[in-house]
Amino acid sequence: MQAPYAALGLAAICLAASALQGQDQAKDRTTEASHIRRELSKPELQERLDELRKGMLTKMMPANVAKKRKVERQKWLKKFQVVQSEHYLVYTNAASNSVKKFSKSLEEMYEFIHELFPFKDDHDHLTAYIFRTKDDYTEFCVKITGWPKSWAEKTAGHSGGEYYATYYQSPTASTVVHESSHQVVNRCLKIPAVGSWFQEGMAVYIEKLYTGEGKPSAGMKGALRSGQYYPLEKFCDIDSLLDDPDENGRRSYNHAGALIDFLANTKLEPVAGRFPEFLTRAKSPYIYGLESTRKLVKETYGLSLPELELVWKRHYGLKK
């Protein structure tokens, strides 16, 4: 298993996102109506940073720092800076030069997804928090999202529509690509839900293509042939793939990526070429769960989930 992903359902991610709304995104919304993203001036960036220091950063200050004198607390807060790129505002207490490289990688990943699944570039800056240490990141998770520390320590990054957070690691690490993909799917493709199979499938599919670490469909033919997979009726009903009751989380992640690969690339009718339509239908309203997936599949492909599963098998040359 690679660096751990956030083993949490979308509900937890949404709660985490809402905890940050109105802090570092409030000013972004003033330009959303006109769909214009502009470069922020240094005074504007400083204002954002000052608000962050007074709000979220003060709340997530590690206990050993919070107990120190005011001058020490201020010193810790002043280590944070903001790095602006075309599509991101990255808040960090890591080294500036390192984070600039991180921003460059985020931009490259953003453009990759934009070409893969074209979307309107009409949103404001995406927010990312890159913490210098794993401890700082863990403290953020516990204080801001309300997760138990044991949950936070198992993650190497997580994302909601409002933000992406991780601790400093290789900018091209699989976890960085995977979790930041969640943010782009949510905020830019404007698809915050559908189901864990879809959200994780999209992230795995993008991660595999971007990093070149194996094909999204790797091993799926054998799994379908041997029956070592969840039928779609059960698969699409799992609230969080890594928390499924049979403990097949990693397998389910891979199968979700293979399912997206099939939907996006199969040449078989009636599925071929209709994934963009599926994405459009999935945008709104906020829909999540098995019934929503059934409806999307029926409206897009004219198939039930068992019928779609049969086409998926034929895609791999399996007739039964």
- Span 233-279, pLDDT tens digits: 999 999 988 777 788 888 999 999 999 999 999 999 999 999 999 99
pLDDT in tens, 162-212: 899 999 878 888 888 999 999 999 999 999 999 999 999 999 999 999 999
Cα atoms in the Cβ-side hemisphere of radius 13 Å centred on 53: 18
- For the four alpha carbons of 263, 265, 271 and 274, in that order, the dihedral sign comes to positive
- Report the SS3 class of residue 293: helix
What does the alpha-carbon distance between residue 64 and residue 221 come to, in Å, rounded to a whole number?
52
Q: Which residues, 6+ apart, have CB-to-CB distance to 285 below 8 Å?
A: none
Question: Are 60 and 144 contacting, i.e. CB atoms less than 8 angstroms apart?
Answer: yes
Structure tokens at 113: 């997804």
What does the alpha-carbon distance between residue 14 and residue 312 come to, in Å, rounded to a whole number?
31
What does the alpha-carbon distance between residue 181 and residue 176 come to, in Å, rounded to a whole number?
8
What does the alpha-carbon distance between residue 300 and residue 198 come to, in Å, rounded to a whole number?
15
What does the alpha-carbon distance between residue 288 and residue 299 come to, in Å, rounded to a whole number?
16
pLDDT in tens, 199-211: 999 999 999 999 9
pTM: 0.86
Instruction: Identify the CA nearest to 164 among candidates 134, 193, 126.
Output: 126
What are the beta bridge partners of residue 159? 164
What are the beta bridge partners of residue 167? 131
The single-letter DSSP state of residue 79 is T
The single-letter DSSP state of residue 239 is S
Q: Between the CA of residue 5 and those of 92, 118, 177, what are the distances in Å?
A: 20, 26, 11
The helix or strand, by DSSP H or E, that contains position 158, with its residue range, turns out to be: strand 157-159
Going from the N-terminus, what domains does the chain have, and what CATH number goes with each?
10-190 (3.40.30.160), 197-315 (no CATH)
Please tell me the predicted confidence (pLDDT) of residue 89.
95
pLDDT over threshold 60, residue 28: no
pLDDT in tens, 47-105: 999 999 998 888 888 888 888 999 999 999 999 999 999 999 999 998 878 888 889 99
Mean pLDDT of 9-32: 42
